[in-house]
Every structure is written in C-alpha cells, then in structure tokens.
Amino acid sequence: MSKKLGLNPGTVRDQASRLNAQLGALDSIASTVKATRNAAQYPQSYGLGPGDKVMAPEYLGTASSACSDISAATGAARNLISVAYSNVSEQESASGAGSSGSRPSTGKPATDGAPRGEGNDDTVTTTIIGSTATADGGYKSNSGGGTDAPTSYKDLSKPKFDDAKEEYNFETETQDGTTVNTTRTTDNGDSTTENSDETFSGTTTTNGVKVTVTDDSVETSNETSTVTGVTNTNTNKTTGDDGSSSETTTETTATKGTTTGTSVTVEDDSVTYTAKSEAEVRAAASLSGKFDNGSGVSGEGEVSAEASAKIAAEASVKISDDGTVVAAASASVGATAAVAAAGRIEAGVASATGSVKAQATVSAAATATGTIGPDGASVAAGVSAMAVASASASGSVEVMGVSAGATGEVYAGIGVKAEVEISATIDSVSVSVDVGAALGIGAGVSFDIDFSPKEMVSDLKKLFW
C-alpha cells in the first residue's frame, strides 16, 4: 500500500493555508536581521556617522547565522507544503476521491447475512498506513509595562515591570506508522454495546523554531523531538432501553523519545550559545469508567499507573565584550513511578468522593561552571541526589447541603549534596566546600465541614415535591 495513503486532504490543505499565513512574519524577521547586520557592516550606506553603533562587529557572524536559520526554516516549510499538496493530489487521483479529502479504509463488515437482532454484531476495521504531516506557526507580542499586584513591601516600593517582547514560532509534526481502528456494535436485545479499539504504532517527529525579541536581546532557538512507541485506546459503551448506561475507557502507552535543541542569545554586551539534549522512556496505563442506572444513581472513577525514566544534559558558553567567558554544564537522571485512583458516586441528594495517590521519585544531578576573565578565574561544581516517596488519600461525603471531608498525606525522603567552589584573582585565592545531607519524614491530616442551607432546602424539595 502506498505510504501516501492515510493523508487527510482537507486537513492538509487547511494546515497549509494557516502555515502560509505565518511564513510572511518569519520572512520579515529574516529581512530585519539582515538589514541590521548590513547597517553595522556598512554604516555609511545607511546614513550612519562615525562612532554610531548598530551591532558590535564580533556579533556580525551570529546575526548572519540567525538570518540563515530563519530563512532555512521558511524554505523547509514551503517545501513541506509543496510535498503535501503533491501527495494528496496523487492520493485523490489513485483512489478516485474528490477534494473533500475522504480517507481510505479497508472496511470489513463482519456480518454473515443474518438479520439484525439479539446476538448479532457488526464489525468494521480501518487500517491507515503512511505519513501524516501538520504545521503551525504563531506570533505573540507583549508591549511591556504591566506588573503583578504587589505581595510584599519590596514589591510595593520597587515594582518590577514586564519587558516588551515579541515571539515568533513555527512547528511541524510528522507521524509515520500504522493506525488500526476496529469498531464493533452488538445488539443485546434490551441494550446496545459499542466497542472502539484504536492502536497507533510508529514515530512522531516534531521540529520547532522560535525567535524571541526583547529590548535587551534577540534569541533564536530550535528544538527537535522524536517519540517512538505504541498507544492503544479502547472504549466500551453500553446503552440500555431503560435509560441506563455504562462506559469504560482503557488507554495504554509505551514510548521512548529524544529531544535536542540549540539556541543563540545576542545581548548588548554578550552572546550566549546553548545546547541541550534529553532522552525519556515512559510506560503508562489508565482505566476510567462511568455509569447511570437510570434511577438516580450514577458514578464515575479512574485508576492510573505510570513509570518513567529520564536523562538530560545541557551546556552553554557566554562570551562578553570585556573578554569574560563563562562555560556551564549540567546533567541529571531520574525515575518516577506513580499510581492513582479516584471515584465519585451520587444517589439522589447524597454523594461521596474519594481519591488515593502514591508516588516514588529518585534523581541525581551534577553541575559545573567555569569563568575566565580579565580579573581572574573561578570554577564551581556540585552534585546532589535524592529519593522521595509519598502517599495521600482524601474523601468527602455530602448529604442535603452538609458536607464533610478529610485529607491525609505521608512522605519520606533522603537527600545528599556536595559543592566545591574555587576562585583565583591577582589579590586572593579562595576555596569553599559544602557537604550536606537531609532526612525528611512527615505526615499531615486535615478536616473540613461545610453547610449550605440553600442547598438543603433544594434537596428537601426533591424528596417531598
């Protein structure tokens, strides 16, 4: 089967139209950056006199690189649009579909010719193999000057106002894989059951570019993430002729993914280069359901479990006009496991809710920073590790406007750290070491009671009128 099967022509054309509307903004950014670089390189051509500065000479290369990155992003976007249009046209030509963008499927009604009735069922399976692509972009502007309400004397005496900021972003997402959807409808005589099962197996790749402009800096960043795995969603719904109903949904996911990104930040007196990378493995499962017996009793509930492990690293270099160079690096690794359950039931004028949750986390991190400048050099490094486990439970009951609830929580954790800092200048050399450990054990309980006369009167009316 062609890999072009599975594209939704209507969706592709709609996304392409939205993307085209945003590309002009990115073109404008590239033009502005290029004009600024040219003005700094050839000031007389732009009416600038000796001594007038637009951009420090050492940042001309960075500005040129930023301009190239933006132009490459817009070029890639336009190429993506062209490929998408070509693919949907070929798909429509091969399948005989019109521009409505109907999706191909392999429908297989599982009936044997028997008339509809008790015990009969219909099954339809749809398989989509191939690639789907979406793209989106946006622009946000904050004129600055705003501030939050003060919460302390310091905030009141010296309020901090928001900086003016403009942000342009563009993102593409591509899914490569297989989606199998099976829908089964069963007639039970006095009720009907509908079951839907969908499984996606494949890879989702996301590419994003963002440009942030403030009064003090221009930051250009890009990020790429890839997630590979399987996701299954199963929904089962039964509707009775007497008005009763029940529904359950089960979702399971197993994925592994990586994210990488780089950024360049240009300020008045410095430029910073940053790179980061992370990898994650995740598995999760959840089950949710609800029911209504048609006689005033209903309820809903959910249980879930999740386990994940992540490793991340980041490095940056900041170069200032005065010759100071600051290099920093960090790395971390962690794992988390959590289970949770929650439920609610209502019967006439009474209701009850409850929830429980337990979580365990272990993590370790290391950081290092080195500074070299005209006044000397310094280096700092640190490591830390921690393990925490917690559990909580809460519940409440309400009857005719009177409600009571309680919440309890326990936790236990242990952590260690070690930090070293060395500084050397022409005047002095200093060394500092900090080693510590922490042990935490705690528990808490809280209660609340609430009374609503208005709600009590309303519930009493339901009983007697």
Q: For position 260, what pLDDT does the model report?
A: 94
Q: For position 106, what pLDDT does the model report?
A: 38
Name the band, by pLDDT with cuts 50, 70 and 90, for residue 48: low
Provide the 8-state DSSP code for 248. E
Interval 452-461 mean pLDDT:
66
pTM over 0.95: no
| Torsional sign, CA 10, 13, 18, 19 | positive
**Both tokens of residue 72?**
């490459």
Q: For position 110, what pLDDT does the model report?
A: 41
pLDDT digits (tens, 9 = 90+) for 314-361: 999 999 988 899 999 999 999 999 999 999 888 876 788 888 889 888
**Residue 237 reports pLDDT greater than 80:** yes
**Residue 5 reports pLDDT greater than 50:** no
Phi, psi for 222 (deg, rounded to 5): -140, 150
**Residue 145 reports pLDDT greater than 60:** no
Q: Please, are residues 237 and 193 in contact by the beta-carbon 8 Å criterion? A: yes
Q: In what order do the strands lie in the sheet with 270-292?
A: 121-142, 165-187, 191-214, 217-240, 245-267, 270-292, 297-320, 325-347, 350-373, 376-399, 402-425, 429-451
**Both tokens of residue 448?**
């609340």
Interval 28-55 mean pLDDT:
70
Domain layout of the chain by residue ranges: 322-465
Q: Which of 144-158, 258-272, 419-433 has the highest mean pLDDT?
A: 258-272
Interval 254-271 mean pLDDT:
92
pLDDT digits (tens, 9 = 90+) for 76-127: 777 777 777 777 777 767 665 544 443 333 343 444 444 444 556 788 888 8
3-state secondary structure of 384: strand
Provide the 8-state DSSP code for 188. -
Q: Please, are residues 136 and 18 in contact by the beta-carbon 8 Å criterion? A: yes
Q: From CA 115, how far away is CA 151, in angstroms rounded?
A: 72
Q: For position 274, what pLDDT does the model report?
A: 94
Q: For position 379, what pLDDT does the model report?
A: 87
Q: For position 131, what pLDDT does the model report?
A: 81
**Both tokens of residue 369?**
């920073």
